[in-house]
């Protein structure tokens, strides 16, 4: 049974906000603040709007000190770096950019940065990215897949300056990197609380606590993982092998997606990540050449880099970007 809608969608006004509506909402919040119930607010002030719509309008547009457009190069770099590391947690990324909203950052990424850095674009066929033949058991489906792929590609490009057509985006039929399951499982998109809870599970916990230790062949991939939290592999070997081969494994439900409890506070980890990004910016030249040597040798990876994630990239790059 679904839950009751927050408002009568048939009777509330939808679409663009009029200046008068903005004025009413702004005046009320200026006088009473936003501490009250958003659902009840529109009725109280005579707006024929859904409470969620009012909240969104306030947060994304009417709130003081909001900046729209005109992203700086520094902001570009920060967005790219954070996206490559933590994915599409727009609110977390936006929190590092004063005056920016998650919606703004998201739109900016989708319309400008993504295309500039990764090629392709939005809305499927109109600017179609070459779609990798990676079929997931995950109900999150392609959303999570494309996001993870973008992040891998972005990070590899950032580190090695590799033209996009030579990275895996255009040729990923059977990617040799080992982490499809942990990157793309349903848990990969969820976490509980920032600054309010110490329990965290999902992609971040995997990259913090799991290390890929080998397994160059597809058959070995499932066995290549070691988990520092107690030795439970986050991978299902059967689904991993099938996914890596581009086979629909929807009939084999992932069975080993054990939740790994994250040992630290998310804000601390974000701090660490920001330090890494600054370190990365300062030592960019040290990173170029690591792992991407023409002879396929590993090269050296900077200590600035994010643990776990880099082991994936390193392994992937060592194997020739999916060739």
Contacts with DNA by CB under 7 A lie at 2-4, 6, 9, 13-17, 36-40, 49-53, 55-57, 60-61, 68-69, 88-92, 102-104, 106-108, 110-112, 115, 121-123, 126-127, 142-144, 147, 189-190, 192-194, 196-197
Distance CA 279, CA 168 (A): 27
Q: How far is the CB of 111 from DNA (least distance, A)?
A: 4
Q: How far is the CB of 285 from DNA (least distance, A)?
A: 30
Token readout for 63 is 């709130």
Distance CA 30, CA 207 (A): 43
User: Which residue, 13 or 133, is less far from DNA as judged by CB?
Assistant: 13
Q: How far is the CB of 239 from DNA (least distance, A)?
A: 19
User: Which residue, 114 or 241, is less far from DNA as judged by CB?
Assistant: 114
* Helix locations, 112-236, DSSP H: 114-118, 141-160, 180-184, 203-209
User: Which residue, 180 or 311, is less far from DNA as judged by CB?
Assistant: 180
Q: How far is the CB of 212 from DNA (least distance, A)?
A: 24
DSSP 23-77: HHHHHHHHHH-S-S-TTTHHHHHT--S-HHHHHHHIIIIISTT---S---HHHHH
Contact 113, 94 (CB under 8 A): no
User: Which residue, 4 or 294, is less far from DNA as judged by CB?
Assistant: 4
Q: How far is the CB of 273 from DNA (least distance, A)?
A: 14
Q: Name which of 310, 186, 185, 322 is nearest 240 in CA terms.
A: 185
User: Which residue, 37 or 285, is less far from DNA as judged by CB?
Assistant: 37
């Amino acid at each position: 049974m679904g839950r009751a809608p927050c408002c009568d969608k048939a009777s509330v006004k939808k679409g663009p906000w009029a200046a008068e509506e903005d004025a009413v909402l702004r005046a009320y919040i200026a006088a009473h603040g936003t501490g009250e119930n958003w659902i009840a607010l529109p009725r109280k002030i005579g707006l024929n709007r859904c409470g969620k719509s009012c909240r969104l309008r306030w947060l994304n547009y009417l709130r003081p000190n909001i900046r729209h457009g005109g992203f700086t190069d520094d902001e570009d770099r920060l967005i790219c770096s954070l996206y490559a590391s933590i994915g599409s947690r727009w609110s977390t990324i936006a929190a590092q950019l004063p005056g920016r909203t998650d919606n703004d950052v998201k739109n900016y990424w989708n319309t400008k940065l993504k295309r500039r850095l990764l090629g392709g674009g939005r809305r499927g066929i109109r600017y179609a990215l070459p779609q990798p033949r990676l079929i997931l058991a995950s109900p999150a489906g392609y959303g999570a897949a494309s996001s993870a792929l973008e992040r891998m590609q972005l990070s590899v490009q950032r580190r090695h300056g590799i033209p996009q057509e030579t990275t895996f985006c255009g040729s990923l039929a059977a990617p040799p990197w080992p982490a499809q399951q942990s990157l793309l499982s349903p848990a990969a998109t969820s976490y509980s609380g920032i600054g309010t809870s110490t329990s965290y599970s999902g992609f971040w916990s995997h990259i913090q606590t799991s290390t890929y230790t080998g397994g160059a062949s597809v058959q070995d991939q499932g066995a290549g993982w070691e988990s520092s939290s107690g030795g439970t592999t986050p991978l299902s070997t059967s689904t991993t092998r099938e996914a890596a081969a581009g086979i629909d494994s929807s009939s084999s439900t992932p069975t080993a997606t054990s939740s790994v409890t994250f040992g630290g506070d998310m804000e601390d980890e974000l701090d660490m990540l920001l330090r890494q990004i600054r370190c990365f910016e300062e030592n960019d030249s040290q990173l170029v050449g690591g792992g991407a040597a023409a002879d396929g040798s590993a090269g050296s990876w900077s200590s600035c880099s994010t643990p776990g994630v880099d082991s994936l990239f390193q392994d992937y790059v060592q194997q020739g970007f999916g060739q």
